[in-house]
Homo-oligomer: A and B are copies of this chain.
Amino acid sequence: MKVVKFGGSSLASAGQLEKVVHIIKGDVQRKFVVVSAPGKRTQDDIKVTDLLIAYYEATLTHLPTTEFTQEIIQRYQEIADAFQVEKAIMAEIKENILSLQTLPITNNPHLSDTFLASGENNNAKLIAGILRTQGVAARYINPKELGMIVSDEPGNARILQKSYEQIYAWRNESEILVIPGFFGYTEAGQICTFSRGGSDITGSIVAAGMKVDLYENFTDVDGIYVSHPGFVHEPETIKELTYREMRELAYAGFSVFHDEALMPSYRAKIPVVIKNTNNPQHPGTLITTKRDISQQPVVGIASDQGFASIYISKYLMNREIGFVRRILQVFEDLSLSYEHMPSGIDDVSIILRERQLTKESEEELMRRLAFELDPDELRITHGLSMIMVVGEGMRQRVGITAESTSALARKHVNLEMINQGSSEVSIMFGIQEVQEEKAIRALYYTFFD
């Protein structure tokens, strides 16, 4: 049994939906279909979700809304016409879209979520109808009916544990269930959306609830690349990687999924495959809890820019009780978070994301650190990149660090930092941003190609 989730670009037009229907019909195991709202048809197109945001804002500010409602309805109508979907469905969608502006706009914390969720919700109704025109026994199911109960946190809802059991009760439906992604209902019956990447979360929750064998996530790429296509010409795609490996890659710029999206399937130990709606023959990238590491110790090389490093040195620092605690306190007082904190004997570096700092807050931070710690040396370095070489079992492989550092040394890439040993899944190198492309290429050609 499989959950299959389609992203917005896979559902943007009648042409794309033909591919989707073909995919669903191609495997009887695909019993649960999770859908996003219609995405962009072309580069310059507007997503239905963005139209809904504009519609919501116009409603809030009492501006004319007709322009938006017409365009949104038109997006569904085009697709419905192409498949000659039963008239009642479009009537329902239309009525729903027009009715949104009649909702109370004051003291209504769920208004924005209700507008946004309609994009997915109406699309699920439409797609269930499309499937039926194509001879597939399918029905739309509302998340409330399905039992998807969430915390009352508009825009940032969390699934409640009891939902899984309720979802499981739908496991043996004879029809394919078409489920709108991105939102659930509070116990009081209000619509609440997940944070960004919300349809991926819905797919992951349904996969965990239904205890399926596989969660298929259809996108518009063949899978996760081994390295950034901007740095390496036509990089390979990763065949298989573990959840932990994906987390490390995601952290360093491989933003395939929103951080929390795969938590439910991870906890339920359900594998996820990323596939391409436009190239479904491609095996895609499989995300598992465990993989055979003998064939491919390194799965990917990722990097991310925009880090700064604060260096603090003080003779006999390690004799001062609570020295690191005081550093953390200064960071907390200024609401700054840090990424890493490698420590030496008499020094410590704090790596943080630069975007947190303004000129003023940086000055304040440095002033506070100088005052609280009385260091011998204190300075900040900007413009750092973090490069991660990712692969399970990294620690057991004596040679990978040596190969990596040798490759970087040959290309004269200076290492500002190495972080190995915390993670069993990656080695992290801190370098100057200007050397990032050179470093990525050197590592790519060491472990791939």
Contacts and interface: CB of A to CB of B under 8 A. Distances in A.
A344 B398 contact: no
Interface string A397-427: 0110110011011001111111111111111
Nearest to A328: B325
A421 B425 contact: no
Interface stretch (A8-16, A67-75, A345-353): A345-353
B430 A415 contact: no
Contacts of A428: 344
A94 interface: no
A316 B406 contact: no
Nearest to A342: B422
A76 interface: no
Interface in A8-34: none
B421 A415 contact: yes
Contacts of A423: 344-347
Contact of A345 (B248, B313, B345, B408): B248
A324 interface: yes
A260 interface: yes
Contacts of A170: none
A417 B423 CA distance: 9
A307 B340 CA distance: 21
Interface in A235-261: 243-244, 247-248, 251, 259-260
Given A263-B316, A409-B402, A414-B398, A247 B421 contact: no
B345 A247 contact: yes
A314 to B, nearest CB: 11
Given A315-B263, A415-B395, A420 B342 contact: yes
A260 B316 contact: yes
A424 B243 contact: no
A390 to B, nearest CB: 10
A419 B398 CA distance: 16
A102 interface: no
A409 B419 contact: no
Contact of A398 (B348, B399, B412, B426): B412
Interface in A303-326: 309, 311, 313, 315-316, 318-319, 324-325
Interface of A: 243-244, 247-248, 251, 259-260, 263, 266-267, 309, 311, 313, 315-316, 318-319, 324-325, 328, 339-349, 395-396, 398-399, 401-402, 405-406, 408-409, 412-428, 430
17 contacts: A247-B315, A251-B318, A260-B316, A263-B316, A311-B424, A313-B424, A324-B328, A343-B422, A344-B423, A349-B421, A395-B416, A396-B414, A398-B414, A401-B415, A402-B402, A416-B421, A418-B421
